[in-house]
Amino acid sequence: MSSNIIFNSKLPNTGTSIFTIMSGLANEHKAINLSQGFPNFETSKRLMDLVSENMLKGNNQYAAMQGNLDLRNQIAKKIQSLYQKDIDPNTEITITAGATQALFTAINAFVEKGDEVIVIEPAYDSYIPSIELCGGIPVVYELEYPNYSIDWDKLASLFTEKTKMILINTPNNPAGKALKASDLSSLETILENRNTILLSDEVYEHLIFDGKIHESVLKYPNLYNKSLAVYSFGKTFHNTGWKIGYVVGPDYLMKEFRKVHQFNVFSVNTPIQAALATFLEDPNEYLGLPNFYQAKRDYFLALTHASKLEPIHCEGTYFQLFSYKNVSTKSDLDFAKQLTIENGVASIPISAFYSSKRDDKVLRFCFAKTDETLEKAGALICKL
Ligand code: PMP
Ligand code: GLN
C-alpha cells in the first residue's frame, strides 16, 4: 500500500465552521435552528419564475467574466439612488459567487506574504483563513460586550507600515451594530495618506432598523477610492443557497480583483444573473426590507421578553444577541450545545467570532424565520 502524502496544512488551526456544527446539531436533535444565518421562508416566487424562464429560454452558458451587463447596470442604478454615487458598470462592478468569494478574491488579489490586515472582531469566520491562505498576518481589534463600538484611537494604534488592508462589516454580524457617519469620518482620517485598502463587507446593507441609515463606503469619496465593497443577493432576497453577490470599487482596484476572479470562478451562474437583472428593476423588492426585518426582530423580542436572557440592542442584520449570564456559568459553546440538545433551540456562541475565543456569555439567534418558528423558539427560551 502506498503511504500517505506528507504536507503542511495551510490552515492548521481551522476545523469545521461553527455554522455547520450548530446546524448539524440542530438537525440531529430536531431543535429549532436559529443558529446558521438563513431564512426559513421562500424567496420571491416571481424571482424563481424569472430564473426558470431564463433557463428554459437557453440562458445556460458562461456569463461574461465581470458578470451580466444588465445586472451590473441595475446595480449601478441602485447605488446611485441609495448612495448618490455614480459607478461605471463596466469597470467598477463584478458579480461574484456570493460575498464569501468576493471577500476571498479581494484578499487574495492584494494581500502579500507578511502584509498585515486589520480585522475587527467579532467577525464573520471566513476573513482570517482567507488572509492566512495568502501569507497575510491578521491583526485583531476586539469589540467589547455590550456596546461593541469602535474606539478609533485604539484602532489607529494598530496600523503599521505593513498594514495592507482593513476589513469592516456594517451592519455587523454577529454584534448587530451599525457604523455611524462619525465612524466613517474617523476611518477616513485614519486612512488618509496611508497605503491601506478598505474591504467593506456590506452584505446587510438593507437590514438596518429604527430609521438608521446604512453608512456605505460608497458615500465617502475619499474612502471609495481605496475601497472594495462587498454585497450578497442571498441576504437581500432570501436565497442564501444561490450564492450570488457582487463587489464594487474603483477601476484600478477592480482590474486587479478581476485578474484573480477570472481564475478563481471565471464567471457566475448565468440564468440567476439574468433573472436578478429583471427583478432589480423594481426597487420595492429591497426597499421594504428594513420594515420587514424590524418587525421580525421586534416580534422575537416580544416573544422572549419574559425569559431570563438579556437582549443586546440590535441595530441591523438578522441576528439578535442575548446574554445568558443570569442562567448559566457554562462556556458559551457548552451552553449553546445544551440549549440545542436539552431545550430544543440552536444558536451560535459568540466566542466563535473571536480568534481569542473571548467568552462574554453571549449567544446569537437568527430571526430570519417564519412567525410560527419564532413563536415556538420564544416559548422554549422562556422556559429557561
Ligand atoms: N459576510 C457576512 C458578514 C456574512 O454574515 C455572510 C453570510 N452570512 C457573508 C459575508 C457571506 O455571504 P454569502 O452567503 O453571499 O457568501
Ligand atoms: N454567514 C452565515 C452566518 O453568519 C453563515 C454562512 C456559513 O454558514 N458559512 O450564520
Cα–ligand 2 centroid distance for 124 (angstroms): 8
Ligand 2 atom 3, closest CA: 37
Note whether residue 50 is domain-resident.
no
Q: Measure the CA–CA gap between 124 and 249, rounded to whole angstroms.
A: 21
Q: What are the two backbone dihedrals, phi and then psi, of residue 248, each rounded to the nearest 5 degrees?
A: -125, 135
- Judge if the beta carbon of residue 19 lies within 6 A of ligand 2: yes
pLDDT value of position 1: 79
- Judge if the beta carbon of residue 36 lies within 6 A of ligand 2: yes
* C-alpha cell read off for 83: 448612495
Q: Which of 17, 232, 321 to mutate to test the pocket of ligand 1 (most atoms within 8 A of CB)?
A: 232
Q: Is 302 helix (H, G, I), strand (E, B) or coil?
A: helix
Cα–ligand 2 centroid distance for 37 (angstroms): 5
Note whether residue 48 is domain-resident.
no
| Pair (262, 307) in one structural domain | no
Side by side, the strands of the sheet bearing 197-201 are 93-96, 245-248, 227-232, 197-201, 163-169, 116-121, 137-142
Give pLDDT tens digits for 85-95: 999 999 999 99
With contact defined as beta carbons under 8 Å apart, do 132 and 11 qualify?
yes
Domain end residue (candidates: 281, 303, 336) = 281
Between the alpha carbon of residue 374 and those of residues 32, 41, 73, 109, 238, the distances in Å are 9, 12, 38, 41, 17
* Strand partners for 362: 323
Q: Measure the CA–CA gap between 377 and 369, rounded to whole angstroms.
A: 10
| Pair (23, 94) in one structural domain | no
Q: Which atom of ligand 1 is nearest to the CA of 37?
A: 8
Q: Measure the CA–CA gap between 301 and 289, rounded to whole angstroms.
A: 18
| Pair (210, 249) in one structural domain | yes
With contact defined as beta carbons under 8 Å apart, do 322 and 311 qualify?
yes
The number of folded domains in the chain is: 2
Q: Which atom of ligand 2 is nearest to the CA of 366?
A: 10
| Pair (28, 95) in one structural domain | no
Ligand found nearest the CA of 98: 1
Domain harbouring 143, CATH code: 3.40.640.10
Q: What are the two backbone dihedrals, phi and then psi, of residue 99, each rounded to the nearest 5 degrees?
A: -75, -30
- Tell me whether residue 229 is exposed, middle or buried, using C-beta atoms within 10 angstroms of its C-beta: 0 to 12, 13 to 18, 19 or more: buried
- Judge if the beta carbon of residue 37 lies within 6 A of ligand 2: yes
Give pLDDT tens digits for 206-249: 999 999 999 999 999 999 999 999 999 999 999 999 999 999 99
Q: Rounded to 5 degrees, what angle do the CA atoms 351, 352, 355 make? A: 85
| Pair (75, 164) in one structural domain | yes
Q: What share of the chain is helix, strand, coil (3-state, %, to 5)?
A: 40, 15, 45
Q: Measure the CA–CA gap between 271 and 261, rounded to whole angstroms.
A: 19
Section 308-327 average pLDDT: 98
- Percentage above 70 pLDDT, the chain: 100
Question: Is this structure's pTM higher than 0.95?
Answer: yes
Ligand found nearest the CA of 106: 1
Cα–ligand 1 centroid distance for 277 (angstroms): 21
Ligand 1 atom 7, closest CA: 37
Ligand found nearest the CA of 240: 1
- Judge if the beta carbon of residue 17 lies within 6 A of ligand 2: yes
| Pair (151, 87) in one structural domain | yes
Note whether residue 370 is domain-resident.
yes
pLDDT value of position 114: 98
pLDDT value of position 157: 98
pLDDT value of position 13: 86
* C-alpha cell read off for 186: 474617523
| Pair (267, 338) in one structural domain | no
- Tell me whether residue 241 is exposed, middle or buried, using C-beta atoms within 10 angstroms of its C-beta: 0 to 12, 13 to 18, 19 or more: exposed
* DSSP states of 308-348: S-EEE---BSSEEEEE-TTT--S-HHHHHHHHHHHHSEE-E
Amino acid code (one letter) for 99: A
| 294-303 contact pairs (CB < 8 A, 24+) | 294/209, 294/210, 296/367, 296/368, 296/369, 296/371, 296/374, 297/209, 297/367, 299/367, 299/371, 299/374, 300/365, 300/367, 300/374, 300/377, 300/378, 303/374, 303/375, 303/377, 303/378, 303/379, 303/381, 303/382
- Tell me whether residue 384 is exposed, middle or buried, using C-beta atoms within 10 angstroms of its C-beta: 0 to 12, 13 to 18, 19 or more: middle
Note whether residue 102 is domain-resident.
yes
Domain end residue (candidates: 252, 281, 310) = 281
Note whether residue 206 is domain-resident.
yes
Angle, in degrees to the nearest 10, between helices 270-279 and 69-83 = 40
pLDDT value of position 60: 98
| Pair (258, 125) in one structural domain | yes
Residue 186: CB atoms within 10 A of its CB come to: 18
Give pLDDT tens digits for 241-292: 999 999 999 999 999 999 999 999 999 999 999 999 999 999 999 999 999 9
Q: Which atom of ligand 2 is nearest to the CA of 100?
A: 9
Ligand 2 atom 10, closest CA: 37
| Pair (244, 328) in one structural domain | no
Section 117-139 average pLDDT: 97
| Pair (336, 232) in one structural domain | no
Q: Which of 16, 101, 124 to mutate to test the pocket of ligand 2 (most atoms within 8 A of CB)?
A: 124
Cα–ligand 1 centroid distance for 256 (angstroms): 22
Q: Measure the CA–CA gap between 145 and 25, rounded to whole angstroms.
A: 26
Q: Which of 235, 243, 265 to mutate to test the pocket of ligand 1 (most atoms within 8 A of CB)?
A: 235
With contact defined as beta carbons under 8 Å apart, do 234 and 100 qualify?
no
| Pair (195, 342) in one structural domain | no
Closest CA to 92 of 223, 258, 222: 258
Average pLDDT across the chain, whole number? 97
pLDDT exceeds 90 at position 32:
yes
pLDDT band at 15 (very low <50, low <70, confident <90, very high): confident
Q: Note down the domain range covering 368.
A: 18-37+287-381
With contact defined as beta carbons under 8 Å apart, do 309 and 384 qualify?
yes
Note whether residue 368 is domain-resident.
yes
| Pair (273, 154) in one structural domain | yes
Q: What is the CA radius of gyration of the chain?
A: 21
Give pLDDT tens digits for 325-373: 999 999 999 999 999 999 999 999 999 999 999 999 999 999 999 999 9
Q: Which atom of ligand 1 is nearest to the CA of 201?
A: 1
Domain end residue (candidates: 281, 308, 326) = 281
Note whether residue 47 is domain-resident.
no
Domain harbouring 357, CATH code: 3.90.1150.10
Note whether residue 210 is domain-resident.
yes
Whether cis (ω within 30° of 0) applies to the bond prior to 12 is no
- Judge if the beta carbon of residue 130 lies within 6 A of ligand 2: no
